[in-house]
Chain A
């Protein structure tokens, strides 16, 4: 009887867990095992953030990101912020930072609690205006 109760409880917990995860829409949960979840996490770390994500990425995201993810973020920022700048009298491409420099920049700024809401793309743009490299 007790084993039956334990099994029933575990079953209930698993059922509730599966239901919650479905509710959260987690792809890895639908795959149904932890390894798949880890795999998905690794994929996410390696995937470039969308433009929309970059627009709102702040220092807190930098702090939360693993080193691999940080490199991906820096690379994506370099790609987007190195784009063309337009005006009637001027047009050209924006300078970018060397990736190592960008990592140091974010590490230095984002280590402070007051900077947790700083937008990464703005920090990058300001810094590249002072110490950018041609790309």
Chain B
């Protein structure tokens, strides 16, 4: 017989007295350690091994050869043709059924087709809707019905793992969370034995190629491991010359094509985080893995017609791969990058959309030296292209540290804080210093006024970039920016500045490497800006940039030229007031930086957060600039005086800094 209910009620005071010792114990034993654990260290990401550029020659141990060129995508409609090279594995959701529309994959396709028949469809937001004919819709539907009959997988990774050279993985519409991959531990201690030293200065804990080979889903939701590890271990310490992968094994998944079978990339979603967030943010929300789709040494890799979202770091990660094509893809709200293609060659990003990234929408980092620093006797070539992409609502639309010889054309950069950035601000292990020879042409840079630094932003910005800017070159050489349009970027259209002191070499530095030239440590030379249209939209509207062209005029910088650019009412607006046009670009020797104290003061204030006497930094980059006009000009004047003062005070403290040493 139980006690009457009233007897069970303990007065509040008595309850607290009763529980007090227990609560204290609980706090000490449980809550405090948990709090310590939660704040003591950040979630660790995977770090990469010392990276090498792949041999740019094709590997003809497989037929057709892998690498050596950008691979061509095979048509979806050939996927079930058994006479073709390679086997196709089909991934779907749900089960085969007599009523195809009752299958979740085909149900999703049916809805997509119905919508497209009525409204058209797009591969990226800024293109005009494409018309979907009834014939095309029926053809795609029937082929997907056939694919469903051939479907034997429900997990993309399983199909990839079973694939070999020249094979294809076709994924029917659906949101794929890959629960089996998620079930693998991240930073599994069982995989520690495959870790090695990172790049210089050789800190332990780098995930080697073997790490990814044996533990493919430790970091990655879907891993395409293209080759066996080599029989020889990579050299320790790493080679200074990064041409040629030293521990390359034979192809096992070269020329693999992974594609969605839907009408567009919205139909097949690889979800690395919280599916309920849809295509929205915040960046990396609910991330289960560092990377959505990784392709390592996967020469000839083609990824097509998929969306990848919410990975902790990168949506799509291509590394040490010769020959890749990323086509008709979308990437949303991954923590840092929509795509990271690192030390890869012969690659193309095309017809894509990337939004919501805390670093950049696309990032072709550390490409091979095929530009002005190419090996003697080799021809100049652009090793990668980014074309026909809409890169918006990121911290930066495009980023490339040590970005050599990338051709960036026919893209739209809008609603970012900074549309495009390329820089020399590198860390050890990021080969290809300094970046050079990018060709940036026929792009639209407009309305890059998104402020990710606002408290309510759904993008988590990882760096200090200036809100309201079309593009910047932070220390690169021999880049060419031509035939683009820049409009409605409220701070600036284009910025160029030097990063003067990043590198040390010479006899007093302890660095005896060949090629280390202390006279060339300042990087911002031979850049050309011409035939760009500033402040006017394609429809003829006048939508000014804050300032069209901005240069720090770092002392000693040579051969940077601006010519034949048009602004509102004639010449573009510039800071400083005169920029060298080098006789229409014909005589670059006429351009020599002499130092602009105000502009260098701004860099010091924003990149060093320097203010004398501990005062609040003046840097205006993190607030939305005013719309260009009289008020903005007044703000500029006030800021100019403050930056001049910043520069003076900085040089009183850091007289030996190159910025101060060289500026008279």
- Listed by A's residue number, 22 A-B pairs whose Cβ atoms lie within 8 Å are A17-B29, A21-B29, A24-B37, A37-B36, A51-B206, A53-B42, A56-B45, A84-B201, A86-B432, A90-B433, A90-B516, A92-B509, A92-B513, A93-B511, A94-B427, A94-B503, A95-B503, A121-B427, A127-B609, A129-B607, A130-B501, A130-B658
| Least Cβ–Cβ distance between A110 and chain B, in angstroms | 9
Q: Cβ of B538 < 8 Å from any Cβ of A?
A: no
Q: Cβ of B635 < 8 Å from any Cβ of A?
A: no
Closest residue of B by beta carbon distance from A10: B22
Number of interface residues, chain A, beta carbon within 8 A: 70
Given contacts A24-B33, A127-B607, contact A90 B464 (CB under 8 A): no
Given contacts A81-B427, A114-B453, 14 further A-B contacts (CB under 8 A): A16-B30, A21-B34, A34-B32, A37-B36, A41-B40, A56-B44, A83-B427, A87-B402, A89-B515, A105-B608, A105-B609, A127-B608, A127-B609, A132-B502
Of the stretches B253-261, B454-462, B638-646, the one at the interface is: B454-462
Q: Which residues on the B side are within 8 Å of A118 (C-beta)?
A: 461-464
How far apart sit A41 and B40, CA to CA, in the bound complex (Å)?
8
A84 and B511 within 8 A (CB): yes
Could you say which of A26, A37, A113, A122 contacts B455, with CB atoms under 8 Å apart? Answer: A113
| Residues in B391-434 with C-beta less than 8 Å from chain A | 402, 424-434
Given contacts A9-B22, A26-B33, contact A122 B463 (CB under 8 A): yes
How far apart sit A17 and B34, CA to CA, in the bound complex (Å)?
11
Q: Which residues on the B side are within 8 Å of A52 (C-beta)?
A: 44-47, 187, 205
- Using an 8 Å CB-CB cutoff, how does the interface string of B112-151 with A read, 1 for contact, 0 for none? 0000000000000000000000000000000000000000
| Residues in B525-570 with C-beta less than 8 Å from chain A | none
| Residues in B16-41 with C-beta less than 8 Å from chain A | 18-19, 21-23, 25-26, 28-30, 32-34, 36-37, 39-41
Q: Cβ of B375 < 8 Å from any Cβ of A?
A: yes
- Using an 8 Å CB-CB cutoff, how does the interface string of B279-296 with A read, 1 for contact, 0 for none? 000000000000000000
A85 and B433 within 8 A (CB): yes
| Least Cβ–Cβ distance between A1 and chain B, in angstroms | 12
- Using an 8 Å CB-CB cutoff, how does the interface string of B209-221 with A read, 1 for contact, 0 for none? 0000000000000
How far apart sit A83 and B198, CA to CA, in the bound complex (Å)?
11
Given contacts A52-B44, A125-B425, A129-B475, contact A92 B201 (CB under 8 A): no
How far apart sit A109 and B26, CA to CA, in the bound complex (Å)?
37
A87 and B206 within 8 A (CB): no
Q: Cβ of B353 < 8 Å from any Cβ of A?
A: no
How far apart sit A125 and B464, CA to CA, in the bound complex (Å)?
12
Given contacts A17-B26, A29-B33, A85-B433, contact A44 B41 (CB under 8 A): yes
Q: Cβ of B5 < 8 Å from any Cβ of A?
A: no
Given contacts A114-B461, A118-B463, A123-B464, contact A86 B431 (CB under 8 A): yes
A61 and B41 within 8 A (CB): yes
Q: Cβ of B203 < 8 Å from any Cβ of A?
A: yes
| Least Cβ–Cβ distance between B423 and chain A, in angstroms | 9
Q: Cβ of B184 < 8 Å from any Cβ of A?
A: no
How far apart sit A2 and B424, CA to CA, in the bound complex (Å)?
72
| Least Cβ–Cβ distance between A27 and chain B, in angstroms | 9
A26 and B37 within 8 A (CB): yes
Closest residue of A by beta carbon distance from B520: A90
How far apart sit A123 and B427, CA to CA, in the bound complex (Å)?
11
Q: Cβ of A28 < 8 Å from any Cβ of B?
A: yes
Closest residue of B by beta carbon distance from A25: B37
Closest residue of A by beta carbon distance from B435: A87
A86 and B240 within 8 A (CB): yes
Q: Cβ of B98 < 8 Å from any Cβ of A?
A: no
Q: Which residues on the A side are within 8 Å of B242 (C-beta)?
A: 86
By CB atoms of chain B within 10 A, which of A58, A82, A88, A109 has the most? A88
Given contacts A80-B203, A89-B515, A127-B607, contact A95 B501 (CB under 8 A): yes
How far apart sit A40 and B350, CA to CA, in the bound complex (Å)?
51
Could you say which of A57, A61, A93, A108 contacts B611, with CB atoms under 8 Å apart? Answer: A108
Q: Cβ of B508 < 8 Å from any Cβ of A?
A: yes
Closest residue of B by beta carbon distance from A98: B654
Could you say which of A21, A34, A94 contacts B502, with CB atoms under 8 Å apart? Answer: A94
Q: Cβ of B604 < 8 Å from any Cβ of A?
A: yes
Could you say which of A24, A92, A133 contacts B521, with CB atoms under 8 Å apart? Answer: A92
A51 and B26 within 8 A (CB): no
Q: Which residues on the B side are within 8 Å of A125 (C-beta)?
A: 425-427, 502
B426 and A85 within 8 A (CB): yes
A53 and B425 within 8 A (CB): no
- Using an 8 Å CB-CB cutoff, how does the interface string of A33-45 with B read, 1 for contact, 0 for none? 0100100010010
A129 and B375 within 8 A (CB): no
How far apart sit A127 and B198, CA to CA, in the bound complex (Å)?
23
A122 and B203 within 8 A (CB): no
How far apart sit A34 and B29, CA to CA, in the bound complex (Å)?
7
Given contacts A108-B609, A125-B425, A130-B499, contact A93 B455 (CB under 8 A): no
Could you say which of B30, B199, B509, B617 contacts A21, with CB atoms under 8 Å apart? Answer: B30
A86 and B433 within 8 A (CB): yes
Could you say which of B34, B428, B455, B464 contacts A84, with CB atoms under 8 Å apart? Answer: B428
| Least Cβ–Cβ distance between B435 and chain A, in angstroms | 9
| Least Cβ–Cβ distance between B457 and chain A, in angstroms | 8
How far apart sit A90 and B61, CA to CA, in the bound complex (Å)?
34
B203 and A51 within 8 A (CB): yes
| Residues in A97-131 with C-beta less than 8 Å from chain B | 105, 108-109, 112-115, 117-119, 121-123, 125-131
Q: Cβ of B603 < 8 Å from any Cβ of A?
A: yes
How far apart sit A28 and B19, CA to CA, in the bound complex (Å)?
24
B240 and A91 within 8 A (CB): yes
B454 and A56 within 8 A (CB): no
Q: Which residues on the A side are within 8 Å of B41 (C-beta)?
A: 44, 49, 53, 61
Could you say which of B34, B198, B500 contacts A24, with CB atoms under 8 Å apart? Answer: B34
How far apart sit A79 and B203, CA to CA, in the bound complex (Å)?
9
Q: Cβ of B504 < 8 Å from any Cβ of A?
A: yes
Q: Cβ of B190 < 8 Å from any Cβ of A?
A: no
Q: Cβ of A46 < 8 Å from any Cβ of B?
A: no
| Least Cβ–Cβ distance between B413 and chain A, in angstroms | 21
Q: Cβ of B622 < 8 Å from any Cβ of A?
A: yes
Q: Cβ of B505 < 8 Å from any Cβ of A?
A: yes
How far apart sit A20 and B33, CA to CA, in the bound complex (Å)?
10
Q: Which residues on the A side are within 8 Å of B201 (C-beta)?
A: 79-80, 82-84
Q: Which residues on the A side are within 8 Å of B240 (C-beta)?
A: 84, 86, 91
B516 and A91 within 8 A (CB): yes
Q: Cβ of B62 < 8 Å from any Cβ of A?
A: no
Given contacts A26-B37, A109-B464, contact A13 B433 (CB under 8 A): no
